[in-house]
Structure 1
């Protein structure tokens, strides 16, 4: 079992509002580089979507549940068919996106018991919580050539980390860097 965190990120480390849907002053930075910069399986999840489970927070799940169910193609089909575990204290119904279920119990306990791979997309609060507990095995970061100056960052002051670079590949105007934890 591995926990894999995937994020769009700016050169200055901001992960907040890459598509502009959050309405922040600096939002939409990933999409300013054109649709090809974010289209398809940019994080190279491939068969992980067939065998793993997406772990999403409420905000990310609600956004994705509006965007993905109506899309088709190799990547959308895999994403829609994947199992989805939603961590939320406020949602009661996750039927808007197929194969979604609410996380029952404590996040850390559930992750520790999980037998398959978990893929955290967006959901910065979940990613940070798992990192604080030493549960993240891999980060796949799609770094865009934008500097926005302000916004929520994936890595904050609370969790120092030394990561090992596994690969770095150009993906349109961005760079996909994969890091493993020691």
Structure 2
């Protein structure tokens, strides 16, 4: 049985993760993009930290809440962009968790993040072909999105690699895990 104080601390941590994720999402909206549809995926940092520190269910909660609140603030709620973002976030979190779980002894956050970026991009391409363009020809962009996944996923994975120990240590001092 989880104590009430520990439960409150966990809710506070989830809220902090969601808040940081929304701030990163909004910050990224203002960064210049090499292509109109290509983003670094800074919000993935929070998702990946949540996977490593809180587990799958809480990471999904953080990811979904981050997308919903971020899209509400950015004025994109229930738009096709929102649906692409939500689908990509959910599949990338599940894919990253599976990769972390199955490869816990030999896959680093760097590799997990690259895989997550790949799942996110592939899901967005599939959803865009169904919801936005109504044509599967967009899937010919998959190789380019794979290259983008390596670059962006590698960058965010590197940041998670740097942040993971300090975040884990602060959780221990906070009384969670």
TM-score tier (shorter): under 0.3
Greater helix share, 1 or 2?
A: 2
With the length of structure 2 as denominator, give the TM-score of the two structures.
Answer: 0.26
Higher relative contact order (CA 8 A, sep 6+): 1
With the length of structure 1 as denominator, give the TM-score of the two structures.
Answer: 0.25
